[in-house]
Amino acid sequence: MKEALALFFTLSLYLLPNPTHSTRNPIRLPTAASGGIPVVDMEGDELQPGKPYMLRSWNWTHGGVRLASLDGATTICPSDVILGCKLDYGSTVTFTPADPNAAVVLRSSFLNIQFAVPTVRLCANNVSWEVEYEASSGQRFVKAGDVLSHPFKIESIAPGLRAYMITYCESGTDNCYEVGSHYGQQTRLALSTDEVYAVTFMKPRDV
């Protein structure tokens, strides 16, 4: 009789509701975002949304990405995205994932890229990366403007070497184009086949 009671008590423990399976404590299954691979900077640290970084040519053939005005005084707000010389570390940028809950920047995820540089008040919102067609050259260039969308992605080129490329995806679709270096009087970022801009990410520093 004692053995039968002991067996009943043991089975009842397994049959009682488990609080970890209740509606108050649901099992959180992994999502595509949570299973993503973080982008890392040249020191191996994960990129943080909203934190400033410099985009540097991975193989040091170019300098960093910089906000400039190729039209000079005729343009109120600088809008051209250029590549500086080899010793130019460029302007700082920030990354804002389309997922507002993202704790880090993930590969192949949609994001917004903005320059994080001082501007006059009139130009404070004209810092987001976008793509515009230039009729005179027939080229689509990366420009800075006030469109707050998330059309860019960061893709790995060589994971072990922390080398990446940036892609532009039209209207938030998977129809993506590689962002490359377009050579002219000034090297600019464009949806170009001249050369993919292989980039590594650096924390701001005194140079």
170: helix, strand or coil = helix
The architecture in CATH of the region 53-202 reads: Trefoil (2.80)
Pairing mode, if any, of strands 111-115 and 139-145? unpaired
**For the chain, what is the mean pLDDT?**
80
For 93, what's the count of Cα atoms within 13 Å in the CB-facing half-sphere? 25
19/104 Cα distance (integer angstroms) = 31
Q: What is the pLDDT of residues 168-193, one digit of tens each?
A: 998 767 789 999 999 888 899 999 66
Cα angle, residue 82 at apex, residues 85 and 146 outer, rounded to 5°: 150
> Region 142-149: what's the mean pLDDT?
92
Q: How confident is the model at residue 159 (pLDDT cuts 50, 70, 90)?
A: confident
Q: How confident is the model at residue 20 (pLDDT cuts 50, 70, 90)?
A: very low
Contact (Cβ atoms closer than 8 angstroms) between residue 82 and residue 69: no
Is the model's pLDDT at 63 over the cut of 60?
A: yes
Share of the chain above pLDDT 70, in %: 79
Is the model's pLDDT at 145 over the cut of 50?
A: yes
Q: Is the pTM of this model over 0.85?
A: no
Is the model's pLDDT at 41 over the cut of 90?
A: yes
119/91 Cα distance (integer angstroms) = 12
199/196 Cα distance (integer angstroms) = 9
Q: What is the pLDDT of residues 69-126, one digit of tens each?
A: 887 655 688 999 999 887 788 899 999 999 999 999 999 999 999 999 888 888 888 9
Q: In sequence order, what DSSP letters do the residues of 16-75 get, joined into one string? A: SPPGGGSTTS------TTTTPPBPB-TTSPBP-TT--EEEEETTSSS-BEEEE-TTGGG-
Q: In sequence order, what DSSP letters do the residues of 184-201 get, joined into one string? A: SSS-EEES-SS-B--EEE
- For residue 62, the cross-strand partners are none
Q: In angstroms, what CA-CA distances link 80 with 13, 15, 21, 97, 177?
A: 68, 67, 54, 23, 19
197/202 Cα distance (integer angstroms) = 15
- Return the closest-CA partner of residue 199 out of 175, 186, 180: 180
